[in-house]
Structure 1
Amino acid sequence: MKIDIENIIRRYIRAKDDNNPQLMNRVFSEQATLEMEVNTGAIDFPSVTQGRDEITKTLVRDFNKTYENIYTFCLSDSVIEKQNSLDCRWFVAMSEKATGDVRVGYGDYQWRFCNDDLCLVDKLTIVIEDMIVFSNTEEGELMSWASGLPYPWVRSSELSTCTPEIIPLSKILPVIT
């Protein structure tokens, strides 16, 4: 992977997961587009968001009002890089602030970069394949597992390392990878 692209994606994940909206100025172009394809009823996003400020509101400010303990991972062995684009699988583990319930989801990122010296994201498509909700009684075990993984780039094989013995999780891991 090109170091510039990897660092932009790493910066995006830090912005989203750690509630740092100021970092988005160094991720998305001002007129960027976010498209969301949500294939689950367990989470909701607008299908299209226009402009860096609105993307920041959706993916950082609003998202962090609802969720905490967010760990977003890109699967490094799923990366397909072409000129001005990078596609990869992702998965996330996070807890809901109001209930403590844990959500584990996965899907695909499709990054498209501007053709200029800044190399910012011009379009991001996020496909959410599934989002499984676990009770707050499993928060400690799931968050401990997620926090022990290499972050934010992880190999598919590392996901099964010390995986908690939770039935729905064991069913989705083969699908993620």
Structure 2
Amino acid sequence: MNPISLTAAKALLGRYVDAKDNNRPALIPEAFAQDASLTFSIDTDAISFPARTEGASAIARTLVSDFAQTFDRCRTYYIGDAAAALTGDTMTIPWLVVMRETAAQTLRAGKGFYRWGFAAGQVGSYRIASLHIHIERMDSVPDPGAAVLTALQSALPYPWLPEPALKTVVEGYAAAQPELAFLQAFAEPARLP
């Protein structure tokens, strides 16, 4: 079988974002192989996940069901050019997440990179066989009423975010509101391995 096409890879990544951001765990098995693996590397103490998770059902619990107990109004953005990020059956692409920590009523912004591994499934189809999530940074600020969250999410193209748009929007918010100066750290995508 030929390597995964860009169209197929983007469709699987779209299914993942729909599942995660919209609290739809039943969609994970549509994107992930039954025996898929999930691993993390985390450079911050601001969030934690298990180092390794095996199987689509466990991945759905970790990334969707359990996640939604703490966070809501999540938007996950893929930064940059998907075509440039795809090599054979692997894609490594930076991400940005903007969400609300529900109980604390805080805006959470995070960045890192995804490393996706794709494998052939049924005839002519692919599934996600492995996902590594690197979390480089995760910051939070008070945002009662989620006004900043709403404005920021409305200004960012979703889910595919061109790097110039990221820089323009984030730098604009950071410059206009001193309490959002922390966002400046998110104007550039995470460093890739």
Match of 1:123 in 2: 130
Match of 1:171 in 2: 185
Equivalent-residue separation in structure 2 for 1:171 and 1:150 (angstroms): 19
Q: Does 1:143 align with 2:150?
A: yes
Equivalent-residue separation in structure 2 for 1:175 and 1:5 (angstroms): 20
Could you tell me which of 98, 118, 129 is aligned with 1:113?
118
Q: Which amino acid aligns with 1:51?
A: G
Look up the SS of the partner of 2:10 in the other structure: helix
Call closer, same or farther: CA 1:3–1:38 in 2, change over 3 Å: same
Deviation track 1:17-44 (CA, whole Å, cap 9, x = no partner) reads 0001111111100000000111110001
Under a length normalisation based on structure 1, what TM-score does the superposition of the two structures give?
Answer: 0.93
Deviation track 1:128-149 (CA, whole Å, cap 9, x = no partner) reads 0010111124831233112331
Match of 2:177 in 1: none
Equivalent-residue separation in structure 2 for 1:17 and 1:85 (angstroms): 23
Match of 2:22 in 1: 18
Paired residues in the alignment total 177
Question: How much has 1:176 moved relative to structure 2?
Answer: 4.0
Question: How much has 1:83 moved relative to structure 2?
Answer: 1.1
Match of 2:99 in 1: 94
Could you tell me which of 9, 13, 16 is aligned with 1:9?
13
Equivalent-residue separation in structure 1 for 2:130 and 2:169 (angstroms): 35
Under a length normalisation based on structure 2, what TM-score does the superposition of the two structures give?
Answer: 0.85
Aligned pairs (5 A) from 1:73-92? 73-77=77-81, 79-92=84-97
Look up the SS of the partner of 2:120 in the other structure: coil
Q: Which has the larger radius of gyration?
A: 2
Match of 1:33 in 2: 37
Alpha carbons 1:102, 1:136 under 8 Å: kept: yes
Q: Which runs of 5+ in 1 are unaligned?
A: none
Equivalent-residue separation in structure 2 for 1:145 and 1:56 (angstroms): 27
Q: Which runs of 5+ in 2 are unaligned?
A: 175-179
Q: Which amino acid aligns with 2:55?
A: G
Question: How much has 1:99 moved relative to structure 2?
Answer: 1.4
Alpha carbons 2:166, 2:188 under 8 Å: kept: no
Q: Percent identity?
A: 30
Equivalent-residue separation in structure 2 for 1:39 and 1:159 (angstroms): 22
RMSD across aligned positions (CA): 1.8
